[in-house]
Amino acid sequence: MKQILLAIIVLFSLISCNKSDEIIEKEIIKPAVKKIEFGFKYSDFNVIQDTIKKGDTFGTLLEEQNIGEREIYDIVAKVKDTFDVRTIRINKPFTMLRSKNKKNDLQVFIYQPDALNYYVVDFRDTAIVVYKKTKPITIKRRTIGGVLKESLSETLGNAKIEGALASKISKIYAYSIDFMKLKKGDRFAITFTERFINDSVYDGVEELEASFFEYKGKIIYAFPFAQNPDSDKIEYYDEDGKTLKNFFLKSPIKFSRISSRFSTSRFHPVQHRWKAHKGTDYAAPRGTPITTTAGGVVEQSGFTAGNGNFVKVKHNGTYSTQYLHMSKILVRRGQRVSQGQVIGLVGSTGLATGPHVCYRFWKNGKQVDALRLKLPSGEPMSGRNKDRYIKTITPLKFELDSVANL
């Protein structure tokens, strides 16, 4: 392979980048500064930094350094317990430290399977030394906040924050905030931690420690907390210790009684025959408001002979709910609805003996009993836990509020 000695002094980075000039396959770099990397002083060596190319193996790379086939075979066998050379992958960086004399003997081979770990094969002694090392990770903490001038992901992008944080945040708030509806001028603040390798190389977002978003005029906080201090199972709660995972309201009607439960076989009051009842009936006076039990998008809104006036709401990829026998429908298909929003009024349209709402629940496309469903709802906080929680979040909340001038 062609090796080009760079006349100019190049300050090199850890991550080798794709060269625009395809011909340059390996560069011999003269370090500008007294650089120590992987524990080696680069100025003591003739340094080659490159990435594994298609067709490269540990063997071919060593062959290019004038190491004989037999010797390579021995080396591979000697290092294999620590460094299985077959795990070398294309595009991963490697470094060769060669002697500075005319022979340019290979002295050290370093392979980086990822940004964090590296293998060192040191040929300088008669006995080959091989080891794997992990670079030290530092966690740094940041609080950002203010007023949204563009979308949340753009705002985070401009603050040089990895996209993973935005998706983490949208997951945490999935049931309380529709991030598409955040507006310019809405206030926010986020405290989070980031990983740095060797104290300098950014390695991504570690954790969200605290946040708030102003949504439809309301400030919604999120703080992680483990109710069981012995477990690391964390849930997110608001400033009062209420779970943010308020997936579904218990029922679509505030004050009502269950008149018929979900069953695989019941005697139908109108059709007078046994059939499955895949819903829960809540009896209520005609005209009583029916609310959607969770936010989502109206998937269906219309009339059938059996259902009467009905609405079906899709909450996410997993859950949908349906509300039947309405006297009046108050939403349109495609409309976004929020948890607790009134979507229709109780009636007895379709196959119904009296005014009630038949509440149906789908999980992964299958009708299930909403009353038996173990929904991922957060446990209510007990007195002692709540004290501990409030103590934990008070300084975090103060930090958020001050950065956003709340």
Spatial CA neighbour of 359 closest among 287, 403, 272, 294: 294
d(CA 280, CA 301): 19
Identity of the residue, 113 or 354, whose beta carbon is nearer to Zn ion in the bound complex = 354
> What tokens appear for 276 in the block?
């499955």
Q: Kindly write down the DSSP assignment for every residue of 82-115, as one continuous string.
A: T--GGG--TT-EEEEEE-SSTT--EEEEEE-SSS
Neighbours of 256 (CB within 10 A): 19
**Residues 325 and 309 sit within 8 Å (Cβ to Cβ):** yes
Q: State the minimum distance, in angstroms, from the CB of residue 280 to Zn ion.
A: 7
Q: State the minimum distance, in angstroms, from the CB of residue 335 to Zn ion.
A: 24
* β-bridge partners, 126: none
| Angle, alpha carbons 121-122-124 (nearest 5°) | 155
C-alpha torsion 140→146→151→153, nearest 10:
0
Identity of the residue, 145 or 279, whose beta carbon is nearer to Zn ion in the bound complex = 279
C-alpha torsion 282→284→287→288, nearest 10:
-80
Q: State the minimum distance, in angstroms, from the CB of residue 281 to Zn ion.
A: 4
**Residues 111 and 84 sit within 8 Å (Cβ to Cβ):** no
| Angle, alpha carbons 278-281-286 (nearest 5°) | 140
Identity of the residue, 263 or 339, whose beta carbon is nearer to Zn ion in the bound complex = 263
Q: State the minimum distance, in angstroms, from the CB of residue 255 to Zn ion.
A: 19
Distance in angstroms between the alpha carbons of the first and the last residue of the chain? 62
Q: State the minimum distance, in angstroms, from the CB of residue 274 to Zn ion.
A: 15
Identity of the residue, 155 or 256, whose beta carbon is nearer to Zn ion in the bound complex = 256
Spatial CA neighbour of 41 closest among 52, 50, 33: 33
Q: Which residues bind Zn ion (CB under 5 A)?
A: 279, 281, 358
Identity of the residue, 214 or 281, whose beta carbon is nearer to Zn ion in the bound complex = 281
Identity of the residue, 324 or 396, whose beta carbon is nearer to Zn ion in the bound complex = 324
Q: State the minimum distance, in angstroms, from the CB of residue 264 to Zn ion.
A: 13
**Residues 352 and 282 sit within 8 Å (Cβ to Cβ):** no
Q: In the complex, which residue's CB is closest to Zn ion? A: 358
**C-alpha pair distances (Å), 30 with each of 156, 201, 342, 351:** 37, 22, 71, 84
